[in-house]
Amino acid sequence: MTQQDGKKSAHPSGDNRFKLLDRAITKHQASGYSLIEILHVAQGIFGFLENDLLMYVANALKLPPSRVYGVATFYHFFRLKPQGEHAFVVCSGTACYVKGAIEIQKVLEHECGCKFGETTKDGSVSLITARCIGSCGLAPVGVLDDVVAPKLTPDEALRRVRLWKEQKKEVAA
Amino acid sequence: MKPRVATAWLGGCSGCHMSFLDLDERLIDLADKMELVYSPIADIKKFPVNVDVALVEGAVTNSENEEMAHIIRKNTKFIIAFGDCATTGNVTAMRNKFTTEDISHRAYIELADKNPRIPDEYVTIAKLLKNARPLHEVIKVDAWLHGCPPTAEQIWSAVTALLQGQTPVLSPAYLRYG
Amino acid sequence: MAVITFTIDDIQYSAHEGDTVLNVAHANNIHIPTLCYLEGLSPFGACRLCMVEVEGSPKLFPACTTKPAEGMIVRTKTDRLKKYRRMIVELLASEGNHQCAVCVVNGHCELQDLAYEVGLDHVRFPYLFPNKSLDATHKEFVIDRNRCVLCTRCVRVCHEVEGAHVWDIAWRGINCEIISDMNQPWGDSQLCTSCGKCVRVCPVGALLEKGQTVGELRKERSFVKFIVNARTKREWITNGIEEDE
Amino acid sequence: MTIDELRELAENERTRQKQYISRILYCSSAGCLSGGSDSVKAEFKKAIEEKGLGKTCELVGTGCLGLCGEGPLVLVQSADMTLYQHVDAKTARRIVEEHIVSGKKVEECQIDVNGPFFSSQKKIVLENMGKINAESIEEYIAAGGYEALAKAVTEMKPEELIGEIRKAGLRGRGGAGYPTGLKWDIVRKSVSEQKYVVCNADEGDPGAFMDRSVLEGDPHRVLEGMAMAGYAVGANQGYVYVRAEYPLAIDRLKLAIKHAEKLGLLGNRIFESQFSFHIDIRIGAGAFVCGEETALLRSVMGRRGRPKPRPPYPSEKGLWDKPTVINNVETYANIAPIVRNGSAWFAAIGTQKSPGTKVFALAGKINRTGLIEVPMGIPLRKVIFDIGGGTPEGSEFKAAQTGGPSGGCIPKEHLDIPVDYESLQTVGSIMGSGGMIVMDSTSDMVDVAKFFMEFCMDESCGKCIPCRVGTKHIYMMLDKVIRNEATEEDFALLQELCVMVKETSLCGLGQSAPNPVLSTIRFFKDEYTVKLKRATEFVPDEGNGAQ
C-alpha cells in the first residue's frame, strides 16, 4: 500500500470491519480535515489504532503518514495499544484530587502491579486516569468499564478490582 | 599566608588535569604563589580543612564522588567546576541513557577478559548513582571553567585572578563548550 | 500598504507590507537571536528567543511574527529580554543531551552560539537526560532525537520546500518527538527523497550526515531562501536563467 | 416554519403539559445518572403504570437540578414544587404512592427549595433546568425557545442584534471576559464570502462541569445562540467542538440538532428569511490545550491542537483562514434571554463592568456541591458559606480555587471580594470557565500547586520552549520543595522561572500555567519556606576532613 496509488480498495486482509470504516470515510468525503472524526470511528471499530490501520486512514484521506501518526499521538483519547479486558478509570480532576483520588490510585497501582496508563501483565485490567469527567459533585469518581462509580473509597476500589480478578479465575476454571 | 589550593578528580577522564599540567613553566610561578594542599597529582590522602580554592574535575557519577563533593564543599571557600563534565555532565553523563545494572553488566561481564563478575558493594568499587550529574546539581559551585578540556590559557586566567584575591570573571572568549 | 516608520532600539526604520519586526531588524544589521526561524520557511513562533518589548504593552512579542505598526517603539535588548533569553537557552540545554565534545557540529552549532551569546556559564535547571531514539537506518543520514530542539525546521522544509512531508511531530509536551512516516525507521520511509534538506537546516547536530566526526559538519542554510525566492518570485527566470532545451 | 407556527407549537405543547396534574422531573444529567437515576426512572415508570396514573402524571428527564452531591434528585411539580434528594427505587415508589396518589410528601428525603442554596441564585443560563425535558424540542419551544431567533432573523438587522449584545455588556464566559458584541462586530465587518461560528464546548478545566450540564440539560439554548451569532456575523455554518469525555452531551446535542433541522429551525431559510445556518459537531479527543481558540480551530480541522501566534485573531483568520466567531457554551446560552428580555434587563443584573450571571461548579471540601448560577459581583463568602454551606464540620476553610489550572487560590482574608472578572484578577486568580474548588486545612498548598503543574505539564502541546520545558522544571522544583531538598536559591529560581514562563509562552495555557504556583506563593508562602533546606555553609577550621 503506498501513498501514491490513491485507490481506495478493501483492506487486503479481507477484514469486514474496514467496510464500516470506509462508510465513515465516504460520509466525510474522504476529507483530510475529518481525520480526528475518522480516528474516532476507527478506534470505535477496532478498539485501538494499529500502525497498519493508521496507514489505511492516511491513504484513504490522502494525508502524509507522519501527519496521521502525529495527530493520533497528540490526543489522549486515542490508543495505539490494545486495552485490558477491564478498564478502571480514576478521575484525576481537581475535585477528586481534593477528595483523595490519589490514595485510590496508590492502592490500585499496588494491587495491580502496574502504573496508571498501563495494563496488568495478564492483560486483565487497564488503569487509566481521566482529566475530570465532570462529575465533581460525586468526587472522588471512578469509571469501571464505562459505568460511573461515585464517591469511591480505596477499599471499594480494591473490592471491585478483586472482583474482576475472581471472575477471570472462575472463567479460567 | 599563601592561598591553599586543591584540585580534585571526580567522574572524568583526567583530561582537565592534563590541561592543567599544560601550564608548563607557569606551574613553577604558581608553586611560589600558592600551596597545593590536595590533588591527584600530589600524594595526599585526605582532603584538608580550610581550603581557599578547589578546582573540581568531572561529573558526580558514583557514591564516592558524591561524598567527596560534599567534603570539598564543606571545607572550601571557592569552588570551580573544572571542565565540561563538571559543568554539564558531558561525556560522563552519556551513560545516563542506560540503567546502572546494564552498565555494570557491560563493563564487568560482557567486556571482561577473565573472571566475569560484578563487584559487590563491600569491594572497593563505589556504587554508581542513577545519573551522572554536573557538580552544581550536587553542591553549590562558585565559578565554571568550560571546555573539554579547558585550555591552559583559560585555566591560567582563572587561577591568576584567584591568586590575586579576585573572583575570576571569565572573558566571553573563554566561554566555549566542547 | 504604504511605507510605515517605526523605531527599533531608538533608531527609526521603515517597513513595507509583509515585513516583520525581525526581517526589518535583520536587514538593518540589528541582531535578534532566533532558533526556529529560518529565512525561506514559514514562521513558527515557538522558540520565543526573538521576543521583543513594545512600548505601551506589558506583553512581549515574537519579532518573527509581529508586524511593525506606525510609530511602534520596539526594544530588543532590555535586561528583562536578556534574562529570559538566557533562561530559554538554559531550558533547551537541559532538555536534550548536548555533549558538545562529541558532536559533529561542535563549533558550528546554533545552540552553542546562542549559549555563548547569552553568557551561559552553567545551566541552573537539572539536566533531564532524555533517552530518546537514535535512528541510523537511512543510508546517508542519522537522526539523534536526544539532540533535537524541536524547532521543526526539518518538518517545514520537507513539507514546504521538498513537498514530501516525511517528518512530523508526534506526542506532546516534553515527550514531543520528530518522527518519519508512521514513526517507522527513516530508512524505511516511502516518502523520503533523501534530498538532505532537513539535515542542512537542522540548527544542531540532531540531523547529521553519516561518516562525519566531531566538529566536521558545517551546515549551509541559505539555500532555502534561494530556492523559495526562485519559486515564488521566479527570480531565476526573470534573470534569464532558462531551462536548457 | 414561521413565527406563528412556532407560537402555535408552543401553545399546543403547553396545553399538552396542562393535562397532567403532576409532573415528576428526575435529573437525567451525568451526575445523577451515575448515582443511579436510571433505575429510579424505571421504578417511577412502573409505579405510575401500576397505579394507572399515565394520564395525570408525567415522567420527565430534565437537566441538572443543581445539588449534584445529593443526587439522584427528583422534582415533583404539582400544586407546588417539591424537591427530593438521594432518591432510590424505594423512595421513587413511595413518592408515587404517597405524594402523587395521596398528596402526602415523603418528608425525610425532601429538600427545602427556598433554602439558601436556591434563594441566593439567579438563573438565566440554567433557567430551564428542572423545567423541561432535556430531549424535547417542543418543551424548549413551550418555554419560549427559538422565539429570540425568530425575532432576530425576522425583525432585526444583524447590526441591531449586535447592538443589543453590546448594550447588554455580555462578556465571554470562557474566562478571559472579552466583550462578545465587539467580537461579533469584528467578524461582521470583515469581508469574506464564508464565515464560521464555533462553539467551544471543550470544557477541559478539571473541576468544571458547567458546560456539560448545559449541553445535557438544555442543548437547544446553545444552538439558538449559535444561530443568532451566525445571523449577526453573516455565517452559515457552525461547529460545536465538544469533549469526547461527555458522551451524553454529545448524544443530546446530536438529537437536538436533528430535531431543530426537522422543524426548520436550523437549515436553509430559517423562518422563511434569507438566513441559512447549519451546525455540525466536532468531537475532541482529550487535549486541554484545545480550549485555546487557535488550537481548537486546528483541531476542528483535524490537526494537532497546537496554538498559533495571535494576531491574526480568529475573528480575522479562523477556520480555513475565514473570519470565525468563537465563544463558549455559556456565552451562547446567554444570547437568547438577552434578545428575548432586552439588553437593559440583562445589564441590570450583576455589576456594571460584568453584567449578568455566572455559572459555577462548586466542589471540593464543601457541604453542598453542585451547579450554581449567581449574579456577577456576589461576594465569594456568600457563594461558599450561604450557597455551599461552608466546609464540612470539623474542618476549616483554607482557600477557594477558581480558574482551574490557569487560576489561583483565594485565601480566607479575601473571602469578601466580589466575584467578577476584574476583582478575581486583583487577587491573582481568574474567573475562568467556572470551576470553584474549596480546600480545607487538609490540603497542602505546595502539593496543590504541584497537582496543577503536573496537569499543565501533561497538557502542554510542546510547541514553545517555555511551556514545554518550563512546566516540567517547575513541576520538578515543586517536587523538590515537597521532598525538603530545595534551597532558598532554588525557591528564588522557581519564582523567576514562573514569571518567565508566564511572560514568554505562546498561548494562554503556558501564560497562565504558573498562576497556581504564583498565587499559592503569594498567599501561603510559609508552606513553601518551612519545607526549604538550609544550604551547607563553609565553616573554616571546623571541617571534618575525613575521607
Per-domain residue ranges for chain B? Answer: 4-95+130-174
Per the CB < 8 A criterion, the answer to whether D259 and D252 are in contact is: no
The predicted pLDDT at position C245 comes to 52
Per the CB < 8 A criterion, the answer to whether D281 and D242 are in contact is: yes
CA angle (B66 as vertex; B60, B72 as ends), nearest 5:
100
Identify the weakest region by mean pLDDT among C74-78, D35-39, D452-456: D35-39
Q: Distance (Å, rounded) from C-alpha D217 to C-alpha D211?
A: 10
How sure is the predictor about A7, in pLDDT bands with cuts at 50, 70 and 90?
very low
Task: Name all chains with 3 or more CB-CB pairs below 8 Å to chain B.
Answer: C, D
Q: How far apart are the first and last CA of chain D?
A: 92
- pLDDT one-digit tens code per residue, D474-483: 999 999 999 9
Give the distance, in angstroms, between the CA of residue C212 and the centroid of all CA atoms in the same chain.
Answer: 22
Complex ipTM tops 0.90: yes
The predicted pLDDT at position D403 comes to 92
Angle at which helices D219-233 and D158-168 cross, to 10°: 120
CA-nearest of C172, A97, A136 to D510 is C172
- pLDDT one-digit tens code per residue, B7-46: 999 999 999 999 999 999 999 988 889 999 999 988 888 9
The predicted pLDDT at position C1 comes to 56
Out of B45, B75, B139, name the one closest to residue D543 (CB): B75
Per the CB < 8 A criterion, the answer to whether D439 and D400 are in contact is: yes
| Domain D15-119: homologous superfamily in CATH | Glutaredoxin (3.40.30.10)
**Residue A82 φ then ψ, to 5°:** -70, 150
Per-residue CA distances from A70 to A36, B150, C215 (Å): 11, 42, 33
User: What is the per-residue DSSP string for D292-346?
Assistant: SHHHHHHHHTTS------SSSPTTTS-GGGS-EEEEEHHHHHHHHHHHHH-HHHH
pLDDT of residue D84 exceeding 80, the answer is yes
pLDDT of residue A78 exceeding 70, the answer is yes
pLDDT of residue D313 exceeding 60, the answer is yes
CA-nearest of C145, C146, C141 to C197 is C141
Mean pLDDT of chain B: 91
What average pLDDT does the segment D1-21 reach?
A: 95
pLDDT of residue A134 exceeding 80, the answer is no
Angle at which helices D219-233 and D210-217 cross, to 10°: 100
Per-domain residue ranges for chain D? Answer: 15-119, 144-347, 357-440, 445-529
Q: Do D546 and B48 touch (CB under 8 A)?
A: no
Q: Do A94 and D435 touch (CB under 8 A)?
A: yes
- pLDDT one-digit tens code per residue, D146-161: 999 999 999 999 999 9
Cross-strand pairs, B8? B56
Q: Distance (Å, rounded) from C-alpha D262 to C-alpha D239?
A: 18
Q: Do B131 and C101 touch (CB under 8 A)?
A: no
How sure is the predictor about C237, in pLDDT bands with cuts at 50, 70 and 90?
low
The predicted pLDDT at position C244 comes to 57
Identify the weakest region by mean pLDDT among A131-135, A163-167, D4-8: A131-135
How sure is the predictor about D540, in pLDDT bands with cuts at 50, 70 and 90?
low
Give the distance, in angstroms, between the CA of residue D493 and the centroid of all CA atoms in the same chain.
Answer: 35
Q: How far apart are the first and last CA of chain A?
A: 44
> CB distance from B44 to chain D under 8 Å?
no
How sure is the predictor about D538, in pLDDT bands with cuts at 50, 70 and 90?
low
How sure is the predictor about D176, in pLDDT bands with cuts at 50, 70 and 90?
confident
The predicted pLDDT at position D544 comes to 43
Q: Distance (Å, rounded) from C-alpha A75 to C-alpha A79?
A: 9
Per the CB < 8 A criterion, the answer to whether D388 and D438 are in contact is: yes
> CB distance from B78 to chain D under 8 Å?
no
What average pLDDT does the segment D434-457 reach?
A: 95
What average pLDDT does the segment A40-51 reach?
A: 96
The C-alpha cell at C175 is 515527550
How sure is the predictor about D34, in pLDDT bands with cuts at 50, 70 and 90?
confident
The predicted pLDDT at position D370 comes to 92
Chain position carrying cell 479481507: A14
- The alpha carbon of residue C104 is apart from the nearest alpha carbon of chain A, in Å, by 27
The predicted pLDDT at position D204 comes to 84
Per-residue CA distances from C42 to C36, C39, C153, D311, D543 (Å): 10, 8, 9, 15, 60
Q: In C106-169, where does DSSP find H-type helix? A: 110-117, 153-156
pLDDT of residue A9 exceeding 70, the answer is no
Q: Distance (Å, rounded) from C-alpha D463 to C-alpha D459?
A: 11
- pLDDT one-digit tens code per residue, B40-50: 988 888 999 99
CA angle (D546 as vertex; D544, D547 as ends), nearest 5:
145
Q: Distance (Å, rounded) from C-alpha D313 to C-alpha D309?
A: 9
Per-domain residue ranges for chain C? Answer: 4-77, 96-232
pLDDT of residue D67 exceeding 50, the answer is yes
Per-residue CA distances from A111 to A85, A106, A155, A160, D233 (Å): 16, 9, 11, 11, 56
Query: For the domain bounded by D357-440, which CATH number is listed?
Result: 3.10.20.600
Contacts of C103 in chain B (CB under 8 A): 178
Q: Distance (Å, rounded) from C-alpha D137 to C-alpha C230?
A: 59
Mean pLDDT of chain C: 94
pLDDT of residue A107 exceeding 90, the answer is yes
CA angle (D318 as vertex; D314, D322 as ends), nearest 5:
120
Per-domain residue ranges for chain A? Answer: 17-74, 86-172
CB-based contacts of B120, cutoff 8 Å, min separation 6: none
What average pLDDT does the segment D292-308 reach?
A: 96
Query: For the domain bounded by D144-347, which CATH number is listed?
Result: 3.40.50.11540
Beta sheet of C134-135, edge-to-edge order: C134-135, C141-144, C207-209
Identify the weakest region by mean pLDDT among A9-18, D31-40, D433-442: A9-18
The C-alpha cell at A2 is 503506498
Per the CB < 8 A criterion, the answer to whether B54 and B79 are in contact is: yes
pLDDT of residue D82 exceeding 90, the answer is yes
The predicted pLDDT at position C239 comes to 63
pLDDT of residue A5 exceeding 80, the answer is no
The predicted pLDDT at position C103 comes to 96
How sure is the predictor about C243, in pLDDT bands with cuts at 50, 70 and 90?
low
- pLDDT one-digit tens code per residue, B64-101: 999 999 999 999 999 999 999 999 999 999 999 999 99
Give the type of residue at D208: A
How sure is the predictor about D418, in pLDDT bands with cuts at 50, 70 and 90?
very high
Contacts of A70 in chain C (CB under 8 A): 168-170, 179
- The alpha carbon of residue B52 is apart from the nearest alpha carbon of chain D, in Å, by 10
Q: Across chain B, which distance is largest between two alpha carbons, in Å?
A: 53
Query: A86-172: what CATH class?
Result: alpha beta
Cross-strand pairs, D437? D363, D401
CB-based contacts of A159, cutoff 8 Å, min separation 6: none
How sure is the predictor about B163, in pLDDT bands with cuts at 50, 70 and 90?
confident
pLDDT of residue A6 exceeding 50, the answer is no
Nearest CA in chain A to C190: A2
The predicted pLDDT at position A165 comes to 86
Contacts of A37 in chain D (CB under 8 A): 282-283, 302
Q: Distance (Å, rounded) from C-alpha D408 to C-alpha D520?
A: 7
- Does the domain formed by C4-77 have CATH 2.40.40.20? no
Contacts of D462 in chain C (CB under 8 A): 150, 169, 171-176
What average pLDDT does the segment D277-302 reach?
A: 96
- pLDDT one-digit tens code per residue, D356-369: 999 999 999 999 99
Give the distance, in angstroms, between the CA of residue D209 and the centroid of all CA atoms in the same chain.
Answer: 5
Burial letters A10-23, b for 16+ CB under 10 A, else e: ebeeeeeebeebbe
Q: Do C112 and B170 touch (CB under 8 A)?
A: no
Query: C96-232: what CATH class?
Result: alpha beta
- pLDDT one-digit tens code per residue, D86-109: 999 999 999 999 999 999 999 999
CB-based contacts of B35, cutoff 8 Å, min separation 6: B2, B3, B4, B5
The predicted pLDDT at position B124 comes to 73
Chains B and A touch (3+ CB pairs under 8 A): no
What average pLDDT does the segment C114-122 reach?
A: 96
Identify the weakest region by mean pLDDT among A28-37, A128-137, D371-380: A128-137
Mean pLDDT of chain D: 94
> CB distance from D544 to chain B under 8 Å?
yes
Percent of chain D with pLDDT over 70: 98
Contacts of A79 in chain C (CB under 8 A): none
The predicted pLDDT at position C172 comes to 96
Per the CB < 8 A criterion, the answer to whether C46 and C152 are in contact is: yes
Task: Name all chains with 3 or more CB-CB pairs below 8 Å to chain A.
Answer: C, D
- pLDDT one-digit tens code per residue, A80-94: 999 999 999 999 888
Report CA torsion sign: D530, D510, A75, D174: positive
Contacts of D287 in chain A (CB under 8 A): 74-76
> Between B163 and D255, whose confidence is greater?
D255
Mean pLDDT of chain A: 89
User: What is the per-residue DSSP string for C10-24?
Assistant: TEEEEE-TT--HHHH
- pLDDT one-digit tens code per residue, D194-238: 999 999 999 888 888 899 999 999 999 999 999 999 999 999 999
The C-alpha cell at D14 is 403547553
The predicted pLDDT at position D546 comes to 40
| Domain B4-95+130-174: homologous superfamily in CATH | NADH:ubiquinone oxidoreductase-like, 20kDa subunit (3.40.50.700)
> Between A27 and A167, whose confidence is greater?
A27
Q: Do C173 and D459 touch (CB under 8 A)?
A: yes
φ/ψ region of C38 (left if φ > 0, alpha if ψ in -120 to 50, else beta) reads beta
Contacts of B49 in chain D (CB under 8 A): 540-545
